[in-house]
Amino acid sequence: MEMPLLDVRDLTVEFATRRGTVQAVKRVNLSIGKGETLGVVGESGSGKSVTSYAVMRILDRAGRIAEGAVSFSGIALRELPEREMQDLRGREISMIFQNPRAALNPIRSVGRQIADVLLQHGQATRANARAKAIEALTQVRIARPEERYDAYPFELSGGMCQRVVIALALACRPRLLIADEPTTGLDVTTQKVVMELVTELTRERGMSTLLITHDLGLAAAYCDRVAVMEKGVVVEQAEAAAIFRAPAHPYTRRLMRATPRPGAGLRDLLPQEAPRPADPPPDPRQGEALLEVAGLVKEYSRGGGLLGRLAGRAAPAPFRAVDGLSFTVRRGESLGLVGESGCGKSTTSMMVMRLLDPTAGSIRLKGQEISGIPARGFASSPLRSRIQMVFQDPTDSLNPRLTAARAIADPILRMGTARGAALRARVEELAGLVGLPRPLLDRFPHQLSGGQKARVGIARAIALDPELVILDEPTAALDVSVQAVVLNLLQDLKLRLGMSYLFVSHDLHVVRLLCDRVIVMRQGRVVEEGPVEQVLEAPRADYTRELLAAIPHPPV
Amino acid sequence: MDAPLPLTAEAEPRPSAAIALLRHARYVISGNVVTAASFVLFFLLLLCAAFGPWLAPYDPLASDTMAALQPPSAAHWLGTDHLGRDILSRIVVATRLDMGIAISSVALVFVLGGLAGVAAGYFGGWTDRIVGRLADTIMAFPLFVLAMGIVAALGNTVTNIVIATAIVNFPLYARIARAEAAVRRDAGYVQAARLTGNGEMRVLLGTILPNILPIMAVQMSLTMGYAILNAAGLSFIGLGVKPPTPEWGIMVAEGASFIVSGEWWVALFPGLALMLAVFCFNLLGDGLRDIVDPQRRT
């Protein structure tokens, strides 16, 4: 075999922390041949990003390469002087980061940022930098590149920004591209476009790619070889097709099992068949309408501004985030609300939740009209406790200054009756229901893991036995194995407590696991509605088909 | 009734929050010599403020014309002034007054500016406009001149110095509190607090305010230095505390005329005390930020 382009031998990376030295990466061996795409897959904390930072020598102050060698086409990167390393970054090896907006300078137009990189690495002169930057924008298929040259990052969508970042990364024709979670935070259809673009451009130029991702499906779809990392160690490394056909390591098998995929039920995601409580008999009231939403509209004015008004210009037509939405959630049912970012699903859930006032339409909970009660005053309504929510980001939705126990107790203190010992007992009972160990109750959010925080959020939502719980992408910020456990927990709780769910998500496969019916939304309107199996197996709308096709999944 | 759910989560005993914070403070202080020095200086200042009259070797008001304008010596470590009063004693005793003015004015502005700013950031609209314009109006004047004007108008008392110092610092606090509250207004945990039945006032005072307190506390330490300077400055120009009360600003003012004739110690040492106090609070602010900054917590 010829010499690999990038060869990582026995790489060990250490971080100096308060509790002594921590090895984030332990004796990792990786190699990428010319024109090859290597996927590094693992959950958060597996050391996959740290490995790439070590290769680029951009570890933060506390981190250092303790051991091992990194060679890039024969050059030993670890010993290279910082000056030469700087030249290498961007020109020979470049990187795409997770958050495209954060990677771009917000006060410089995107075209000039590309021109800067070209000039810095001597790929262009002052005279032709603009033309070359526009050419780079054309290559990442940005429509009207001459106009976009002068656009600022905030004027572009997330997918567009990621394309600009790719244009930046590829501007100097590097030989190795490191893509660190390049599509996390993008919609599935955008993800597909971006990944295909990267694949095509790198193939065209004979570039090698190191793709770092938590998504097995993504790795399977776009990588030649895959390395699976767990706790800083590469546990398995093989051809992509082989690894998914016959995963050798137990961790890989567990990861694959936990990934939602066609044909697998909710219970199939868990590591092993555990004894389950028998499902209780169905609620006799099952089937009656719990939440009825009709003709719901939310408009945001686009205000022409004071100057425009003074000049006598008419204000532009208001933007309709939700445009005449109607649906019903029945008792004991789970309804999925699916769509890409900006389709109005979050706005809808906020209005149903009574955190936002609708422009028009009616929301009836248990037959009572609640859209008339202003959002500000709904906190004191007796219906407040009947309808609760589990938030998307478990970290953001917990008050950093409250312990887990206090957070769970909050709704009871405000709207319940239990106090003192009875309150503590109820909190402990709730913690038991969501599987949160009792000693963790006195911790603050920053002392809990993502999965534990998700449990606290769920316990808080069910504290007053609500009848309807809105789940706003409750697992989007979690690792797949944790996601599998949390989804199962939600299903158990629903059966045991007889709640109904309105599940808001962008991921059809996740929705299928938990929901009976699904609504596909686009631009504030319903595109398709029906039983979940029918929508997924035989979608009627083109948009649904497009969404389904865009989801990468490992070959099963 | 709880059947075991097939869930896993690790559990280990943790120290209580207060102990964890103390440990963290120790970690930050031990890792930073400057912060440690500022904490030592701070405790020294507190000591002087609390026990000044007992620590001072001489009576700060007793004049002894025989020993006037003596340079630093074994008997008078920092020399004596034109009335023969011991400068060291006067500096030590003055600590209580200077710190008292600074702390009470900062406490006052912390409450007023903090509450006004939080309300402005949270409610927006008219509340925001009124608080914002008020802050702008105060900012439109040179701050020290404004403080002078307030004291001159209200009368020359310690209470009025405190009020004047608080008023000039109002915009700073109001703006920081406003910005921090506006960022948190739609944070997930604030929405969650609304869902759990907290009314708007309760969300504001019970959820948002506690979360911006650490940031405000850092600001407090930083403005403390300014408040000390402001009080001393007012006294220096004769608008504050009246002689013969020992106060750093007056002492510098009184000593200034003797610098020309070579008696440098009369003005230098109180000025040094002033400088050290301001310096101490500025460094303390940096240290406090490291302690309360969640980024540095592990």
Pairing of strands A37-41, A208-213: parallel
Mapped onto helix, strand or coil, the DSSP state of residue A452 is: helix
ipTM of the complex, rounded to two decimals: 0.77
Tell whether B1 is covered by a domain: no
What pLDDT, on a 0 to 100 scale, did the predictor assign at position A312?
Answer: 63
Task: Please give the structure tokens belonging to residue A13.
Answer: 């990376």
| Alpha carbon of A546: minimum distance to chain B alpha carbons (Å) | 31
Nearest-CB residue to B210 (from A401, A442, A488): A401
Tell whether B290 is covered by a domain: yes
Tell whether B13 is covered by a domain: no
Secondary structure string (H, E, C) spanning A250-316: HHHHHHHHHCCCCCCCCHHHCCCCCCCCCCCCCCCCCCCEEEEEEEEEEEECCCCHHHHHHCCCCCC
A290 within 8 A of A329, measured Cβ to Cβ:
yes
| Residues linked to residue A526 through DSSP beta bridges, in sequence order | A521
List chain B residues with CB under 8 Å of A489: 5, 7
B248 within 8 A of B274, measured Cβ to Cβ:
yes
Tell whether B91 is covered by a domain: yes
Say how many domains are in chain B: 1
Across the interface, do B211 and A492 touch by the CB < 8 Å criterion?
Answer: no
Sheet containing strand A289-300, edge to edge, reads A319-330, A289-300, A360-365, A368-369
Under the banding of pLDDT at 50, 70 and 90, the label for residue B4 is very low
Q: Is B125 on the interface with A (CB under 8 A)?
A: no
Tell whether B14 is covered by a domain: no
> How many CB atoms lie under 10 A from the CB of residue B295?
6
Angle at the Cα of A149 (from A143 to A154), degrees rounded to 5?
90
Each residue's pLDDT tens digit, B85-137: 888 888 888 888 888 888 899 999 999 999 999 999 998 889 899 999 999 99
* Largest Cα–Cα separation, chain A: 77
Provide CB contacts within 8 A for B295, sequence distance 6+: none
Residues of chain B numbered 162-191 and touching chain A (CB < 8 Å): 187-189, 191
Task: Please give the structure tokens belonging to residue A314.
Answer: 């008419």
Across the interface, do A396 and B188 touch by the CB < 8 Å criterion?
Answer: yes
Q: Is A460 on the interface with B (CB under 8 A)?
A: yes
Q: Indicate the DSSP class of residue A46.
A: S
Q: In terms of DSSP H, where are the helices of A92-228? A: 100-103, 110-120, 129-139, 145-148, 158-170, 188-205, 216-222
CATH of the domain at B272: 1.10.3720.10
Q: Which long-range contacts (CB under 8 A, 24 or more apart) does A244-251 make?
A: A244/A216, A244/A220, A244/A554, A244/A555, A244/A556, A245/A555
Pick among B1, B2, B5 to test the A interface (most A CBs inside 10 A): B5
A145 vs A138: CA distance, rounded Å? 6
DSSP letters for A310-377:
HTTPPPPPPEEEEEEEEEEEETT-EEEEE--TTSSHHHHHHHHTTSS--SEEEEEETTEE-TTS-GGG
Nearest-CB residue to A397 (from B2, B192, B297): B192
Q: Indicate the DSSP class of residue A74.
A: T
Q: In terms of DSSP H, where are the helices of chain B? A: 17-31, 33-55, 87-123, 125-139, 143-154, 158-184, 188-195, 200-202, 209-236, 248-259, 265-292
What pLDDT, on a 0 to 100 scale, did the predictor assign at position B12?
Answer: 41
Tell whether B74 is covered by a domain: yes
| Closest chain B residue to A437, measured at CA | B11
Mean pLDDT of the A380-406 span = 88
Burial of B113 (0-12, 13-18, 19+ CB in 10 A): buried
Across the interface, do B2 and A414 touch by the CB < 8 Å criterion?
Answer: no
> Hey, what domains does chain A have and what are their CATH numbers?
1-85+214-258 (3.40.50.300), 289-302+316-549 (3.40.50.300)
Tell whether B286 is covered by a domain: yes
Ranges A91-100, A304-313, A493-502, B249-258: which has the least confidence: A304-313
Nearest-CB residue to A452 (from B9, B27, B195): B9
Across the interface, do B196 and A432 touch by the CB < 8 Å criterion?
Answer: no
Across the interface, do A411 and B11 touch by the CB < 8 Å criterion?
Answer: no
| Residues linked to residue A369 through DSSP beta bridges, in sequence order | A364
Mapped onto helix, strand or coil, the DSSP state of residue A524 is: coil
Q: Is A451 on the interface with B (CB under 8 A)?
A: yes
List chain B residues with CB under 8 Å of A442: 14, 16
What pLDDT, on a 0 to 100 scale, did the predictor assign at position A97?
Answer: 82
Across the interface, do A399 and B193 touch by the CB < 8 Å criterion?
Answer: yes
> How many CB atoms lie under 10 A from the CB of residue A47?
23
Across the interface, do A384 and B197 touch by the CB < 8 Å criterion?
Answer: yes
Nearest-CB residue to B188 (from A380, A397, A432): A397
A493 within 8 A of A458, measured Cβ to Cβ:
yes
| Residues linked to residue A296 through DSSP beta bridges, in sequence order | A325
Tell whether B10 is covered by a domain: no
Across the interface, do B9 and A435 touch by the CB < 8 Å criterion?
Answer: yes
Domain residues for the domain of B52 are 20-296
Alpha-carbon distances of A17 from A20, A521, B15, B296, rounded to whole Å: 5, 46, 19, 11
A202 within 8 A of A194, measured Cβ to Cβ:
no
Residue A94 scores a pLDDT above 70 = yes
Residues of chain A numbered 484-503 and touching chain B (CB < 8 Å): 485, 488-489, 492
Handedness of CA A125, A129, A133, A135 (dihedral sign): negative
- Kind and range of the H or E run holding A30: strand A20-32
| Alpha carbon of A433: minimum distance to chain B alpha carbons (Å) | 7
Across the interface, do A353 and B195 touch by the CB < 8 Å criterion?
Answer: yes
Report the predicted TM-score, pTM, of the whole model to 2 decimal places: 0.79
A16 vs A234: CA distance, rounded Å? 22
> How many CB atoms lie under 10 A from the CB of residue A517?
20
Q: How many CB pairs under 8 A join A and B?
A: 107
What average pLDDT does chain A have? 85
In the numeric block, the tokens 């030592």 are attached to B40
Across the interface, do A399 and B192 touch by the CB < 8 Å criterion?
Answer: yes
| Closest chain A residue to B3, measured at CA | A277
Across the interface, do A451 and B9 touch by the CB < 8 Å criterion?
Answer: yes
Ranges A146-160, A215-229, A266-280, B237-251: which has the least confidence: A266-280
Each residue's pLDDT tens digit, B155-206: 888 899 899 989 999 999 999 999 999 988 888 899 888 888 888 888 888 8
The 3-state DSSP composition of chain A as helix, strand, coil percent (nearest 5) reads 40, 25, 35
Each residue's pLDDT tens digit, B17-66: 677 777 777 777 777 778 888 888 889 888 888 887 888 777 777 777 78
